[in-house]
Amino acid sequence: MKERVINKKNLWLLIMMLVPGILLADHNRNQTIQLKKGWNAVYLEVDPEVHDPDNAFANLPVDLIATFYGQISSIQYIKDPDEGNWKTDGWHKWIRPDAPDAFLKNLYRIHAGQSYLIHATEDAVWQIKGESSFSRPKWKPNSFNLIGFSIDPNDKPTFAQYFTNSDAHENLLVYDLIDNHWNKISDLYASMIEPGKAYWIYCKGESDFMGPLDITLPLGDDALDYQATGSTLRIFMKNDSDVPVTYDLNPIPGLDNSALVSLSMELRYAVKTIVLDDIISDPNKTLESGQVKTIYLTVRRDRMDIGTYSNLLELTGGGSRFYIPVSAIVKNKIGN
């Protein structure tokens, strides 16, 4: 019998199914990936509604997917995808069910925060509906990492800008998949990081680097979950670059356009606390190099009717764009 683990996401789903009047959390959004004929290096930012590759790619001209979970210490072990070196330790692959070698597959699920090599037999558009979650990069030390990033398509950074203050990436090595071949990026000051794309990047030593704008949620969580009794949660921010970074924080609905969680903001300083009626009126959205800032977000149940609320917070800055799920339950109308 398989052991079943109840995580926070599964617990929310269970509560929402059992409690009358509670709707499913509206943390979904779409990610669109342009697949070119041949090999594509793809980074998933959403957790697909359809996890099984057999179903996810049933109507797409895709015949092979591979992802890597191991460690590669030297570039000599990185082979062009057409060489098909999938038997090396760490590789997991999916093969189209009607292929004669489909029985060799060992990849059964696709999920957010993972990078994939996808072979398409012709150009196609992969439209992915899935749940957003906030996560930090998981760097394998002293290894090349097949990795992508949460990049703002309207403010794409160069590799040099993005990694400027990361000790683990001081002598940055980046390989980009172009025309089915891995090519070393020679001009890191001109080459921009593309959203939804994966690269081979070397990480020297331990690192949790996530770009110029470093974001941490309470207890290292992946969402702001107020549940039925929570009142105030924090977002920790730090400018990890050597230039000022301006950020922007906005509440946005998920695909179902559910009612938004009503939030107010507190900015706590040594001599005073500033209370803002919403989260978009922060008077100072610029962080100087090395500056740390904590934002306190308070759920305003007095402005919400009885029910369950969920949406996303879009946080941009330093070339990054993060989506933070937020949820809250109102059991009793205040004042009733």
Residue 7 pLDDT = 53
Q: Who contacts 301 (Cβ-Cβ below 8 Å, separation ≥6)?
A: 262, 328, 330, 334
pLDDT in tens, the chain (336 residues): 343 444 554 544 444 444 444 444 679 999 999 999 999 999 999 999 999 999 999 999 999 999 998 878 777 778 889 887 787 788 999 999 999 999 999 999 999 999 999 999 999 999 999 999 899 999 999 999 999 999 999 999 999 999 999 999 999 999 999 999 999 999 999 999 999 999 999 999 999 999 999 999 988 889 999 998 889 999 999 999 999 999 999 999 998 878 899 999 998 887 888 899 999 999 999 999 999 999 999 999 999 999 999 999 999 999 999 999 999 999 987 654
Distance, in Å, from the CA atom of 324 to the CA atom of 310, rounded to the nearest integer, reads: 11
Checking DSSP bridges between strand 174-178 and strand 124-132, what pairing results, if any? unpaired
Q: Who contacts 41 (Cβ-Cβ below 8 Å, separation ≥6)?
A: 115, 116, 117, 146, 176, 177, 197, 198, 199
pLDDT tens digits for range 181-206: 999 999 999 999 999 999 999 999 99
The residue among 142, 178, 163 whose CA lies nearest residue 70 is 142
- This prediction's pTM: 0.89
Distance, in Å, from the CA atom of 88 to the CA atom of 114, rounded to the nearest integer, reads: 19
* All domains of the chain in start order, with CATH: 28-132+137-203 (no CATH), 213-330 (2.60.40.10)
pLDDT tens digits for range 255-298: 887 889 999 999 888 788 889 999 999 999 999 999 999 999 99
Termini Cα distance of the chain = 48
Residue 18 pLDDT = 46
Report how far Cα 113 is from the mean position of its chain's Cα atoms. Answer: 5
